[in-house]
Chain A
Amino acid sequence: MWSRGVLLALLLTAGGARAEESPLGLGREATEAEVAAWDIDVRPDGQGLPEGRGTVEEGGLLYDDLCAACHGDFGEGAGRWAALAGGRGTLTHRDPLKTIGSYWPHLSTVFDYTRRAMPFHAPRSLTDDEAYAITAYVLYLNDLVEDEGFELSRANFMDFALPNAGGFIEDDRWSEPHYAPGLEPCMSDCLPGEAKVIGRARAVGVTPDGGGGFE
């Protein structure tokens, strides 16, 4: 699976490659300005955080203008648009509320996603300072900061851990009992008796029209 041979073949010695080492010589070298223009990602360890700052108060004004119509005045969400706050302690409930405060593991994702894709109708329109301010306000909506004068910046960003930071595990589906090695498919008398219908889609009644059937 891990193509180590290929990986090693591609690895360069420290110091990087010279142009003539490219196997095909296709493409051209990117300029620093080009990389900077597109390199907008921020990692959980803080790599990629730009210089900048913004307060809860500033973020609240931006939020009311740009975010509240979909995410609600207090981050409670609206219609099918996502809630940003609340839901702490509900992850084990029958109907969990997954928000930044209750579910998201990294604050960096809030900054990254806001700057990358929000507001919905005008992505990439926020300045770095505005993205810091809105991120600070989201912390405030989740009761993770309480002072409206609080200022979030590159300098103090890594001081914040979201409540569910430890809530994730790596993929372990293959250890589930139905995937136990060596199982053979049952071919006869696989149920104790006759199969019984215990649920019906028509009783739920949420299927859109169209697509045939006896209509």
Chain B
Amino acid sequence: MILPRKSFRLSRRRLLKGLAAGGVLGASSARAAEAPAEAPAGDPAILEPRPWSTSLGPGVEDGSYGVPAPQEAHVVRRTVPWLTADPAASVSFTPLHELDGIITPNGLCFERHHSGIAEVEPDGHRLMIHGLVGRPLIFTMRDLLRFPRESHVCFLECAANTGMEWRGAQLDGVQFTHGMLHCVEYVGVPLRHVLAEAGLRAGASWLLVEGADGAGMSRSLPLAKALEDCLIAFRMNGEALRPEQGYPLRLVVPGWEGNLWIKWLRRIEVGDAPWGQREETSRYTELLPDGRARRHSFEMEVKSVVTSPSPQAPVRHGKGPLVISGLAWSGAGRATRVDVSLDGGRDWRPARFSGPDLRFALRRFYLDAEWDGSEWLIQSRAMDEAGRIQPTRRQLQAARGVNSIYHNNAIQTWRLAPDGSLENVDVE
């Protein structure tokens, strides 16, 4: 594509050099360090028998739920303790820097709840639909499993994702700057089927959707969106929703801000006007420089970020081939293009996509680069099917000031230093 073809090809010379380097790295193990100074005959990882190759491993873990290898124990959600007042009304962040592809493992999906995790007993869970309907209805979980079902791979982004970065670079890691984001395969019942069961009366134009948690989390949702593509989901990545993701029932609102995706969904009221709930007035509204505030800003805007390398995922291998990997998405549907800059936004080259290209899902991009060991200012810039281009932080600040909190989709800059470390920086 942009880079000369030869830079992708591993020459025999480089392959041999690489093997030699592997041998040197292997020499850092305690045992090899005691070896004589002369060049080793090869890689100890090959020459020395490994315990896992010369013994019997554990048997099948009967009845258990598999967990990642112990060496992956650092791949976890993390919190920013100073951000919120209480862990029961807080947020944890997805470790985007450790993930590849587009699917987020269930146990790594970021959490946001306002009265802790509701520990719902599914047999005692009900979904009520009432208001401007033909007749108010109650559904059990068993009832809902008898409706026609759909599967959709969707990204879920909190409207406050990147919200700490409005004034400039603040948090030093993509997990913290962009980790209120996940993408899973949701399976559930299209909301329109359930609404059809109750029937809509004249004037119906808004829904109140409400959770069973202590916060009674509640939002107003335009009926048109509900009829278009919302799901009442009970499965994520094949299995039941995790408790922190709304077990046994959550709303899926493709492309729209995460706060609308009501967890532990228990009530839908049909009405003819929005309800002015706390989460759509005091919160999830964007204060502009003139003192007015935007409301009902539901759609997530075109956005991308390089997930690796990034401050938590530095370059440990020195100069040479470097995989730059990132995510792009848009509430308009598809991210159609991503460009990457290595000089802070002066010059750009197209990245390549790999993997599924699904509406309202994350999309994975790569740039296969050749790092010369110099300072790079790495950025990515997405474009979506609506033709919108991801703005710079300066453009967003010019249009919205710095007190919007929500809907920050600015281009992110990572400074790659000659030692391979990276830092979240602001450039102009």
Instruction: Give residues in A with beta carbon < 8 Å to B.
Output: 1-3, 6-7, 9-12, 14, 16-17, 19, 21-24, 26-30, 34-35, 38-45, 47, 70, 79-82, 91-92, 94, 96, 98, 100, 103-106, 108-109, 112-113, 116-117, 120, 123-124, 167-174, 176-179, 181-183, 185-191, 194-202, 204, 206-208, 210-214
Q: How far apart sit A29 and B199, CA to CA, in the bound complex (Å)? A: 12
Q: B151 in the interface, Cβ–Cβ < 8 Å? A: no
Q: B395 in the interface, Cβ–Cβ < 8 Å? A: yes
Q: Which residues of A contact B147 (CB under 8 A)?
A: 24, 26
Measured CB to CB, the closest approach of chain A to B42, in angstroms, equals 29
Q: Which residue on chain B has the smallest CB distance to residue A107?
A: B276
B313 touches A200 (CB 8 A): no
A-B contacts, 8 of them at CB < 8 A, read A27-B138, A92-B290, A96-B403, A123-B216, A176-B400, A189-B346, A208-B78, A214-B314
> Interface-forming stretch among B48-56, B129-137, B318-326, B357-365?
B129-137
A188 touches B348 (CB 8 A): yes
Q: Which residues of A contact B108 (CB under 8 A)?
A: none
Q: Which residues of B contact A206 (CB under 8 A)?
A: 80, 82, 170-171
Number of interface residues of B (CB under 8 A): 124
Measured CB to CB, the closest approach of chain B to A181, in angstroms, equals 6
Measured CB to CB, the closest approach of chain B to A189, in angstroms, equals 7
Q: B74 in the interface, Cβ–Cβ < 8 Å? A: yes
Measured CB to CB, the closest approach of chain B to A53, in angstroms, equals 22
Using an 8 Å CB-CB cutoff, how does the interface string of B74-117 with A read, 1 for contact, 0 for none? 10001111111110110000010110000000000000001100
**Contact A123 B171, CB 8 Å, known A109-B276, A195-B343:** no
B295 touches A169 (CB 8 A): yes
B197 touches A200 (CB 8 A): no
Measured CB to CB, the closest approach of chain B to A141, in angstroms, equals 15
3 shortest interchain CB distances as A-B pairs? A195-B344, A17-B134, A199-B426
Q: Which residue on chain B has the smallest CB distance to residue A117?
A: B215
Q: Which residue on chain A has the smallest CB distance to residue B301?
A: A173
B294 touches A80 (CB 8 A): no
> Interface-forming stretch among B15-23, B29-37, B202-210, B241-249?
B202-210
Q: B178 in the interface, Cβ–Cβ < 8 Å? A: no
Q: How far apart sit A186 and B381, CA to CA, in the bound complex (Å)? A: 10
Q: How far apart sit A38 and B216, CA to CA, in the bound complex (Å)? A: 10
Apart from A98-B287, A211-B175: 15 A-B pairs, beta carbons within 8 A: A11-B200, A11-B201, A11-B204, A12-B201, A16-B199, A30-B130, A35-B130, A41-B269, A94-B402, A116-B215, A167-B293, A170-B295, A188-B347, A212-B312, A214-B314
Q: How far apart sit A23 and B347, CA to CA, in the bound complex (Å)? A: 57
Q: Which residue on chain B has the smallest CB distance to residue A19?
A: B135
**Contact A171 B298, CB 8 Å, known A17-B135, A190-B348, A194-B343:** yes
> Interface-forming stretch among B5-13, B60-68, B180-188, B383-391?
B383-391
Partner pick for A43 among B88, B276, B389, CB 8 A cutoff? B276
B201 touches A195 (CB 8 A): no
A40 touches B216 (CB 8 A): yes
> Interface-forming stretch among B232-240, B278-286, B366-374?
B278-286
Q: Which residues of A contact B349 (CB under 8 A)?
A: 187
Q: Which residue on chain B has the smallest CB distance to residue A79?
A: B85
A105 touches B197 (CB 8 A): no
A17 touches B389 (CB 8 A): no
Measured CB to CB, the closest approach of chain B to A157, in angstroms, equals 14
Q: How far apart sit A199 and B423, CA to CA, in the bound complex (Å)? A: 10
A41 touches B387 (CB 8 A): no
Q: Which residues of A contact B27 (CB under 8 A)?
A: none
Partner pick for A29 among B82, B136, B396, CB 8 A cutoff? B136
**Contact A185 B278, CB 8 Å, known A29-B136, A214-B314:** no
Partner pick for A120 among B115, B170, B276, B312, CB 8 A cutoff? B115
B143 touches A38 (CB 8 A): no
A96 touches B423 (CB 8 A): no
A204 touches B170 (CB 8 A): yes
Q: B43 in the interface, Cβ–Cβ < 8 Å? A: no
**Contact A173 B227, CB 8 Å, known A26-B197, A120-B89, A204-B169:** no
Measured CB to CB, the closest approach of chain B to A165, in angstroms, equals 10
B227 touches A3 (CB 8 A): yes
Partner pick for B294 among A17, A28, A34, A169, CB 8 A cutoff? A169
Partner pick for B196 among A23, A108, A167, CB 8 A cutoff? A23
Q: Which residues of A contact B296 (CB under 8 A)?
A: 170-171
Which of A80, A124, A187, A201 has the most B CB atoms < 10 Å from its CB? A201
Q: B289 in the interface, Cβ–Cβ < 8 Å? A: yes
B138 touches A30 (CB 8 A): yes
Q: Which residues of B contact A113 (CB under 8 A)?
A: 277-278
**Contact A104 B281, CB 8 Å, known A35-B136, A178-B399, A188-B347:** yes
